[in-house]
Amino acid sequence: MSDTVTAFAPASIGNLGVGFDMLGLALSGGAGDRVIAARSDTPGISIEEVRGLDGEIHPYLSTDPRENTASIAAQSLWDAAGATGGASLKVHKGVPLQSGMGSSAASAVAAVVAVNALLDEPLETAGLLPHALAGEQYASGGLHADNVAPSLLGGLVLCPTVLLPEVVRLPVPAGVSAVLVHPELQVNTAHARRGLARGYSMEQWLQQQGYLAGFVAACMAGDIDLIGRTLRDVVIEPQRAGAVSCFENVKEAAMRAGALGCSLSGSGPSIFALCEERKGLNMASAMEQACLALGIECQSWVSPLDAEGARLET
Amino acid sequence: MSDTVTAFAPASIGNLGVGFDMLGLALSGGAGDRVIAARSDTPGISIEEVRGLDGEIHPYLSTDPRENTASIAAQSLWDAAGATGGASLKVHKGVPLQSGMGSSAASAVAAVVAVNALLDEPLETAGLLPHALAGEQYASGGLHADNVAPSLLGGLVLCPTVLLPEVVRLPVPAGVSAVLVHPELQVNTAHARRGLARGYSMEQWLQQQGYLAGFVAACMAGDIDLIGRTLRDVVIEPQRAGAVSCFENVKEAAMRAGALGCSLSGSGPSIFALCEERKGLNMASAMEQACLALGIECQSWVSPLDAEGARLET
């Protein structure tokens, strides 16, 4: 048990195109949130500060512990552990808000990992998932683990709601990279979710289900060709693409550069592609160029598929 | 090239509960159709006879080559191969009609395997799938490979329409058996399909999609516990169970006997369960008893998950 600990939790790609609400991939490359937790005499979880990418006090995020995914997640763990006294959090956001990169999930995950290290009897990592989910639920308005699970555990995770809190780490094929481009646009996840159609035809969902089942099989078999034939979203992407003005151009650029598939990360505006490792840098450049050509600033990351999950920092 | 050949194609479990239209399992234990094909001077494919389980001329099935899945499948292959002359088929049905055991698929598969052996340049087994499908499509009214693919290739096959003619053989966990009970009832597949709802909520399909993705991962990882948590059909089974009067009782008996999961085979009336191998015989008995207790005669099979697919017989 320490008095002050720092945890880092990476950004992540929710849905991964083919697996709405149930598939997610951790990102490497340094995009992530940090939470510094310290024992405090005030009972329960409090927030000392929330800082943004620029190191300044965050202009939007609340330090009210009832209104921040980090503190809600940490409080859930604190209560479950029956811990006495309190803990105070410093939340340092490294993942841009409403970017489709799992910003709220990264805060929730970093918070539970940090606070867990303050407990007399810390839980196993997998046991932290329900608490991180409690925080994420506040932000997204639903019980979806597709950002929380990969941010916590790393790599590629299958996490359908029907199996929660159990999740399945999927093996990933060697030699494949994820490229993520974050255009300087914002999409509100909860709002994007409310905009989705409520009714669907059987044909539509059987198509999507077929792609997802095939994608899972492809990952487990290390079959890169099959990944290329199954990394598709025919249900959600068509409904959301219009809200991200650069999407079609960026996707076209990615596919032309040889992507195995390309779709929105979460509800966007970030856009990801999977591709053979050797094409990663070129892919990032092609996608960025397509964005810039429309006058939209952007940032990109290239990540292996087996990126590390959340961890304590010394 | 031979003058007369005999091919056997096994019965199969379509949908396998969790994967409507896209998952199927071959059955061992002798249930299957035989097609004896011989070169003939009459151009194209003709049918010499169709016999039933009792060895007598089949009372319902047509010998008109335009109305039998065996001949339609064989003709498709014959045309694609540019073969000259003709072939005549004897179709010996071992799979009961409208049983949910892939009867029409077994005839189509046995026919293409037999006729392929008559060709000067026989195709690889996988190349026969589109032709068997052409026959099956006549019977079921849609392009579904969940009986044809396992009957042709054996074992457990993932075959979503979006990937056809490609299909994915899934590895299966050791120590798991399939039990199938066929009650003496009939369900017409095409009719059962027309009775399905056309519209579905997102929640419903996300649940089912989550189960299927988890089931595929479970099979590939050999995770029997996870098979038990994912072998579920929350979309189709509730719509079809009512048409099979013994379904609820048989399922209850199977689950009480320790099944990992239990659902309709295809559109029924056959009912299957997966279970640990050592429970197989007891499971079959429990399911049969539940059927007989309702005054319904039945027959059962216990099969490994890696049953052999269609083959030539000497």
- Least Cα distance to B152 among B164, B162, A210 occurs for B164
Would you say B18 and B26 are in contact if contact means Cβ atoms under 8 Å apart? no
Residues 6+ apart with CB under 8 A from B67: B138
Q: List, in sequence order, every residue forming a beta bridge with B176; answer none if it has no partner.
A: B276
Confidence (pLDDT) at B273? 98
- Within an 8 Å CB–CB cutoff, is residue B207 touching chain A? yes
State which H helix or E strand residue A185 sits in.
none
Residues A113 and A230 in one domain: no
How far is residue A265's CA from residue A303's CA, in Å, rounded to a whole number?
14
Residues B21 and B105 in one domain: yes
Task: Count Cβ atoms below 10 Å from residue A178 Cβ, excluding itself.
Answer: 26
Owning domain of residue B284 = 176-304
Q: What is the three-class DSSP state of A39?
A: strand
How far is residue B226's CA from residue A89's CA, in Å, rounded to a whole number?
37
- Within an 8 Å CB–CB cutoff, is residue A206 touching chain B? yes
Residue position matching structure tokens 């099944």: B259
How far is residue A25's CA from residue A43's CA, in Å, rounded to a whole number?
35
Cα separations in angstroms, B205 against A19, A235, B166, B208: 12, 11, 24, 5
Angle at A43 (CA atoms; ends A42, A45), nearest 5 degrees: 90
> Which residues of B fall within a CB distance of 8 Å from A212?
209, 212-213
Is the predicted pLDDT of residue B2 greater than 60, yes or no? no
Query: Does the beta-carbon distance from A201 to B199 stay under 8 Å?
Result: yes
Phi, psi of A54 (to 5 degrees): -85, 5
- Within an 8 Å CB–CB cutoff, is residue A227 touching chain B? no
Q: What is the three-class DSSP state of B114?
A: helix
Query: Does the beta-carbon distance from A20 to B220 stay under 8 Å?
Result: no
A256: domain CATH number is: 3.30.70.890
Residue position matching structure tokens 């409310």: A194
Residues B186 and B144 in one domain: no
Residues B156 and B77 in one domain: yes
Would you say A29 and A301 are in contact if contact means Cβ atoms under 8 Å apart? yes
CA-nearest residue to B220 within chain A is A220
Residues A182 and A161 in one domain: no
Alpha helices in chain A, H assignment, sequence order: 69-81, 103-116, 129-140, 148-153, 189-194, 202-221, 224-230, 237-240, 247-256, 280-292
> Which residues of A fall within a CB distance of 8 Å from B166?
229
Would you say B91 and B107 are in contact if contact means Cβ atoms under 8 Å apart? yes
> Which residues of B fall within a CB distance of 8 Å from A197?
202
Round to the nearest angstrom and report the end-to-end CA distance of chain A. 13
- Within an 8 Å CB–CB cutoff, is residue B135 touching chain A? no
- Within an 8 Å CB–CB cutoff, is residue B231 touching chain A? no
| Structure-block tokens of residue B190 | 């095409």
How far is residue B44's CA from residue B77's CA, in Å, rounded to a whole number?
10
| Structure-block tokens of residue A234 | 């025919």
Residues B19 and B145 in one domain: yes
Is the predicted pLDDT of residue B233 greater than 80, yes or no? yes
How far is residue A132's CA from residue A110's CA, in Å, rounded to a whole number?
9
User: What's the complex ipTM?
Assistant: 0.94
Mean pLDDT per segment of 10 residues, for chain A of length 314 residues? Answer: 87 97 94 96 94 88 91 97 95 92 96 97 96 91 92 98 96 95 82 82 94 97 96 95 94 98 96 97 98 96 96 92
- Within an 8 Å CB–CB cutoff, is residue B161 touching chain A? yes
Return the number of CB contacts < 8 Å for A and B: 122
> Which residues of A fall within a CB distance of 8 Å from B232?
162
Query: Does the beta-carbon distance from A196 to B213 stay under 8 Å?
Result: no
B12: domain CATH number is: 3.30.230.10
Residues B278 and B141 in one domain: no
How far is residue A93's CA from residue B20's CA, in Å, rounded to a whole number?
44
Would you say A231 and A218 are in contact if contact means Cβ atoms under 8 Å apart? no
Mutation to test the A interface, candidates B205, B219, B236, most A Cβ within 10 Å: B205
How far is residue A208's CA from residue A236's CA, in Å, rounded to a whole number?
10
Cα separations in angstroms, A108 against A8, A58, A93: 11, 16, 11
Split into its structural domains, chain A has a count of: 2
Model pLDDT for residues B246-255, shown as the tens digit of each residue:
999 999 999 9
The minimal CB distance from B216 to the residues A21, A217, A226 is found for A217
The alpha carbon of B7 is separated from its chain's Cα centroid by a whole number of angstroms, namely: 16
Model pLDDT for residues B256-313, shown as the tens digit of each residue:
999 999 999 999 999 999 999 999 999 999 999 999 999 999 999 999 999 999 999 9
* Average of per-residue pLDDT values in chain B: 94
Confidence (pLDDT) at A189? 67
Residues 6+ apart with CB under 8 A from A187: A98, A100, A240, A243, A244, A267, A268, A269
CA-nearest residue to B223 within chain A is A168
Confidence (pLDDT) at A2? 57
The Cα of B288 is separated from the nearest Cα of chain A by a number of Å equal to 31
Q: Name the residue type at position B189.
A: T
Beta strand A271-276 pairing with B4-10: unpaired
Mutation to test the B interface, candidates A18, A146, A156, A205, most B Cβ within 10 Å: A205
Query: Does the beta-carbon distance from A163 to B20 stay under 8 Å?
Result: no
- Within an 8 Å CB–CB cutoff, is residue A64 touching chain B? no
Q: Using CA of residue B236, residue B241, residue B247, residue B253, what is the dihedral sign?
A: positive
How far is residue B203's CA from residue A34's CA, in Å, rounded to a whole number?
34
Q: Name the residue type at position B80.
A: A
- Within an 8 Å CB–CB cutoff, is residue B162 touching chain A? yes
Confidence (pLDDT) at A29? 83
How far is residue B11's CA from residue B14's CA, in Å, rounded to a whole number?
10
The minimal CB distance from A162 to the residues B22, B199, B210 is found for B210
How far is residue A265's CA from residue A141's CA, in Å, rounded to a whole number?
18
- Least Cα distance to B25 among B248, B206, B188, B227 occurs for B227
Would you say A171 and B220 are in contact if contact means Cβ atoms under 8 Å apart? no
pLDDT > 90: percent of chain B: 84
Would you say B127 and B111 are in contact if contact means Cβ atoms under 8 Å apart? no
Residues A8 and A136 in one domain: yes
The Cα of A241 is separated from the nearest Cα of chain B by a number of Å equal to 18
Cα separations in angstroms, A225 against A173, A215, A260, B163: 11, 10, 8, 12
Residues A195 and A227 in one domain: yes
Query: Does the beta-carbon distance from B200 to A202 stay under 8 Å?
Result: yes
Residues B153 and B239 in one domain: no
Confidence (pLDDT) at B189? 67
Would you say B31 and B302 are in contact if contact means Cβ atoms under 8 Å apart? no
Residues B217 and B200 in one domain: yes
Confidence (pLDDT) at A191? 73
Query: Does the beta-carbon distance from A22 to B210 stay under 8 Å?
Result: yes
Confidence (pLDDT) at A261? 98
> Which residues of B fall within a CB distance of 8 Å from A207?
160-162
The minimal CB distance from A196 to the residues B168, B202, B230 is found for B202
| Structure-block tokens of residue B264 | 């309709």
The minimal CB distance from A210 to the residues B22, B210, B230 is found for B22
More confident residue, B218 or B97: B218
Residues A186 and A200 in one domain: yes
- Within an 8 Å CB–CB cutoff, is residue A21 touching chain B? yes
Mutation to test the B interface, candidates A168, A196, A223, A230, most B Cβ within 10 Å: A168
Q: List, in sequence order, every residue forming a beta bridge with A225; answer none if it has no partner.
A: none
- Within an 8 Å CB–CB cutoff, is residue A226 touching chain B? yes
